[in-house]
Amino acid sequence: MNAADDFRFKSHELLLDLDAAINQMMMFVATRELSGERWCAAVTQHTDAYAVWSSHLNESSLPNPHIPRPGSSR
């Protein structure tokens, strides 16, 4: 695989993790379970999944025209 395919594969994997965390939180919201150990664990899972996904995006060496690079005039 080339770098773009590797990036896409890893992004997809991380987005599946993030989506699962969001779905779990949505389930708790629907059942009005907005406190307690399970809610805190779901919030932690979501926070961690987002952080890993965001880090992956920011560490990518692939050019993205939508993300201004340091020192750019944009």
For the segment 7-58, what is each residue's pLDDT rounded down to a tens digit? 889 999 999 999 999 999 999 999 999 999 999 999 999 999 999 999 998 8
DSSP secondary structure letter of residue 17: H
What's the pLDDT score for residue 40?
97
Higher per-residue confidence, 25 vs 5: 25
> What is the pTM for the complete model shown?
0.75
What's the pLDDT score for residue 43?
97
Angle at 39 between CA 33 and CA 43, to 5 degrees: 135
Whether the predicted pLDDT of 63 surpasses 90: no
In the chain, what is the greatest distance between 2 CA atoms, to the nearest angstrom? 48
